[in-house]
Structure 1
Amino acid sequence: MNEKLVSIVMVNYNQERFIKEAIDSVIAQTYQNWELIIVDDGSTDQSVDIIKNYDDDRIKPIYLEENSHICIATNVGFSHVTGEYIARLDSDDVWEKEKLYKQVALLEEKPNARVCFTQVNLIDENGQNINEKESELLNLYNSRQKDRKDWIRFFFFIGNSLLQTLVFDRRLLEEVGNFNLAYCQSHDFEFLIRLIKKTDFYFVEEKLAKYRRTQTQQNSALTEQNNRRFFNEYMDIRAHFFEGMSDELFKNTFQDLFVNQAAETHEELVCEQAFLLSKCIGYSMENPILGMQKLAQLLNDGKIYPVLKEKYGYTSKKYYQDNTQKQFYTKKDEHMLDVLREENKRLKQENENQKNHVEVLIDLKEHQQMYIGELERELAVMKNSRSWKVTRPFRRVVRLVKNNSRKDLEK
């Protein structure tokens, strides 16, 4: 195989504990035609000293004077790449030695392949495998969609499940552009959306990277602030989701979900985009705000409004009616909905349990009535028997004796 140069971009900020292992995993690659562009984003720990200890011409460090965040730092790294392929490696993650070789081999063997991912193992701060402990997360990261169409739909309705194990054709960077500086936590996701609009994704289905899960990951720690920003970024990404997507790709991807299955013209497809945006979170209408914003634009578009009215029966009056509904559910609203759903589930179960209890009591009552009936029938038989009649005087004497004995005791 003609070994094309792979430019690896690594951004580092205060990862003195892990960066050496990350760099060493690059040096250990069986595929040796690479350059490692390390952008240190203003680290205040010993990271810079660790980087400077390496004497390898293929390692090309860039030291930023102050912290600027991963998007700016990555774009600085992108501006220095010279290879025909580009890879990214976070400074706390690790590659298996065959990773580059197998990915480049796939890209070279398949004429249409321009982007290639691998599976991952999960490790903790100490490098210990936590696949079993984090099995649900592992399955998500290593899950696959059937084809390009399903990846686009998954990104739009659900979100991202891919980690940055990709190696991609450098020319794609020129086509889709650098990281969007507006996104702090969702920059990878938004970049992948731009890639999938251009080309299909390919996979080496082997665990060739180790993704480290730590308690204090810089931008993805589970705090209320990060969760809120993450949700806001996801909503903004969806608001721009259809930009740069050809009508043909849009139609091929979403047509079975169209309000008007026969939609063909650009104007009709724009209307369909508005309706899809209304249910862009999990196919649900709980957050229709993006669709409403798009419809507000279309109502004032002299070319599209007639189509919206004639083909879809959607008028300004219908918009006014829709606009009386709640359009945006926050994380707190979502939590309250979950609480109410759980309470409703509990009450249903309790009601079912009570219903079962009542049924048991009714069944018990029926059995008791049957037993009493049997006793009454047996008693009637006994009373009509000759022995019962013959012993009647003796029973009367016994009752009198008992009554007299009781009176004597009371004196």
Structure 2
Amino acid sequence: MGCCWRCRIMVSVLMCTYNRRFCLKQAIDSVLCQTYPDFEFVIVDDGSTDGTEELIKSYQDPRIRYFKLDQNSFYCYAANQGLDHCQGDYVAFMNSDDAWLPDKLEKQVSVMEQNRMLGACFTRVYLVDESGNEISEECRDMVALFDRKCTTQNEYLHTLLQSGNFLCHPSALVRKSVLDKIGYFNLLYRQLADYDLWLRLVSESEITILEKRLIRFQWDIKGKKQISMSTRENSVRSFNESVMIRKNYIEKMSEKNFSQFFRGDFQNPDSTSHLQLEFEKAFWLMKCTTKEPGLKAAGMEMLERAMREENAMETLRAHFHMDIFDLYQWTGEHMYKTPWLISEIEEGSQQLAYYKDIIRQKDEYIGQQKEQLEKQNAAIEQQQEYIEGQRRQTAHYEEQLDELGRRMEQKTGQLKKYEDKIREQDEMIQTYANSTSWKITEPMRKIMRLLKK
């Protein structure tokens, strides 16, 4: 680069800090070591109590301009105080826990001076932890966010509105004249103040992002030290601010700019009148993004105001080919939903589905057990029928045995009678034999034989 412009283009580096003494030296040193020499370093101490003042005053570099606030007022107020002290042609924003690569300012100023249409220049970033170790692999979502590509002013604007902020604040170099025109930070916004500023900036002028990574941007994976750390309170605040920023941005945008940037999204591309454009703004907010459900309510608020105007119903019917019943359908839907309510509903639905699945599995198990029980009952009934059959058969056998017993008793009685008769006959024969000579005649033997039979 030639000296013709390096010696006359002043950059104001603005850094606000609060109780960051533990990491402040690295940030200051990375600014003072820039290859681009023509800058002032405006440091605003937002009421620190940790020795920050002593550290900053230990530097003897004349480019440092130190201002300390009496009490902590948070970033936006401190930054606005600092911007009032910035005297350069450009303002570069710096965080007290980040670090620039040495040629950051030089490359950015060169690009801005070669293209006077640019209102700001950003860069790609290295994501690092508090020890300076690169964590890009662990934070791929953040890397993808900061690496998002756009080419035109219109594309930057639509992407910012529809997808949220993807411009890294401490990588920005902005023309001071543009900042003076669009205004500084909105004090109401704590989480997304830079997002609001970038939207106003992109509406006013073109911007660019250098593909080279020129800043080491500290990112706390656990979210314990980041200003926008992921607590429930800050998440809720971010959601509320994102809705307010978009709503206020669209409401305040001139009809000329709105038509210029958003005509491709119009419900009716022929919309030109004030009332027609008010309808278009309301419609656009309602369909801007599904990630911020609160915007639908914001759009309905604008639509409600438009419906108060004269000829609103005629415009709705003739120009947009819609009827009041279309609006009634929208008002019958949930508009005041937050991401947490949606998340809770989704979690509730998932839990309900989970419990339904458990109940289904239990019903299936119970059905299987019932089926097995029915089979067991059927088997038991069969066994009972078998046992009953065996019992009846046993009873029949017992009856037969009883009958046999009776018959045996009868036979036994008859046999006894026969035995008694035979015994009597034997006794008679013996008596007769004893009384008769042992010499028995043949006739007598025949008689004896017959008697024995």
Q: Which TM-score tier does this pair reach, normalised by the shorter chain?
A: 0.7 to 0.9
Shift of 1:257: 2.4
Aligned residue pair count = 350
Shift of 1:243: 4.1
Shift of 1:44: 1.5
Identify the match of residue 86 of structure 1 among 91, 116, 139.
91
* Gap change, CA 1:286 and 1:14, over 3 Å in 2: closer
Q: Which amino acid aligns with 1:80?
A: H
Aligned partner of 2:336 in structure 1 is: 328
Aligned partner of 2:78 in structure 1 is: 73
Aligned partner of 1:282 in structure 2 is: 290
**Structure 1 CA distance, aligned partners of 2:255 and 2:349?**
39
Aligned partner of 2:204 in structure 1 is: 198
Aligned partner of 2:408 in structure 1 is: none
What do the CA deviations read for 1:118-171 (whole angstroms, capped 9, x no partner)?
110011011111112112211211212232112111122221111111111110
Deviates more, 1:27-36 or 1:112-121: 112-121
Does residue 23 of structure 2 align to residue 15 of structure 1?
no
* Gap change, CA 1:256 and 1:129, over 3 Å in 2: same
Identify the match of residue 278 of structure 2 among 258, 270, 275.
270
* Gap change, CA 1:285 and 1:331, over 3 Å in 2: closer
What do the CA deviations read for 1:319-378 (whole angstroms, capped 9, x no partner)?
44432321111232221344367679989x99xxxxxxxxxxxxxxxxxxxxxxxxxxxx
Residue aligned with 1:79, SS: helix
The structure with more helix, counted as a fraction of residues: 2
* Gap change, CA 1:111 and 1:292, over 3 Å in 2: same
* Gap change, CA 1:332 and 1:282, over 3 Å in 2: closer
Shift of 1:55: 0.6
**Structure 2 CA distance, aligned partners of 1:90 and 1:238?**
25
8 Å contact from structure 2 (residues 293, 337) kept in 1: no
Does residue 224 of structure 2 align to residue 216 of structure 1?
yes
Q: Which amino acid aligns with 1:157?
A: Q
What does residue range 49-128 of structure 1 map to in structure 2 within 5 Å? 49-128=54-133
What CA RMSD, in Å, does the superposition of the two structures yield over aligned residues? 2.5
8 Å contact from structure 1 (residues 150, 253) kept in 2: no
Shift of 1:242: 1.8
Aligned partner of 2:195 in structure 1 is: 189
**Structure 1 CA distance, aligned partners of 2:188 and 2:21?**
27
Consecutive unaligned residues of structure 1, counting only runs of 5 or more, are: 351-411
**Structure 2 CA distance, aligned partners of 1:34 and 1:101?**
11
Deviates more, 1:323-332 or 1:7-16: 323-332
Residue aligned with 2:110, SS: helix
8 Å contact from structure 2 (residues 12, 92) kept in 1: yes
* Gap change, CA 1:182 and 1:314, over 3 Å in 2: farther
Q: Which amino acid aligns with 1:56?
A: D
Aligned partner of 1:156 in structure 2 is: 161
TM-score (norm 1): 0.79
Shift of 1:235: 0.6
Aligned partner of 1:382 in structure 2 is: none
* Gap change, CA 1:82 and 1:285, over 3 Å in 2: closer
TM-score (norm 2): 0.72
Shift of 1:254: 2.5
8 Å contact from structure 2 (residues 285, 295) kept in 1: no
Consecutive unaligned residues of structure 2, counting only runs of 5 or more, are: 359-453
8 Å contact from structure 1 (residues 148, 201) kept in 2: yes
What do the CA deviations read for 1:31-56 (whole angstroms, capped 9, x no partner)?
01000100000111121111111111
Aligned partner of 2:173 in structure 1 is: 167
Residue aligned with 2:22, SS: coil
Matched-pair identity in %? 31
Shift of 1:203: 2.0
**Structure 1 CA distance, aligned partners of 2:314 and 2:39?**
56
Does residue 250 of structure 2 align to residue 245 of structure 1?
no
Shift of 1:241: 1.9
**Structure 1 CA distance, aligned partners of 2:36 and 2:295?**
47
Residue aligned with 2:188, SS: coil
8 Å contact from structure 1 (residues 94, 211) kept in 2: yes
* Gap change, CA 1:221 and 1:305, over 3 Å in 2: same
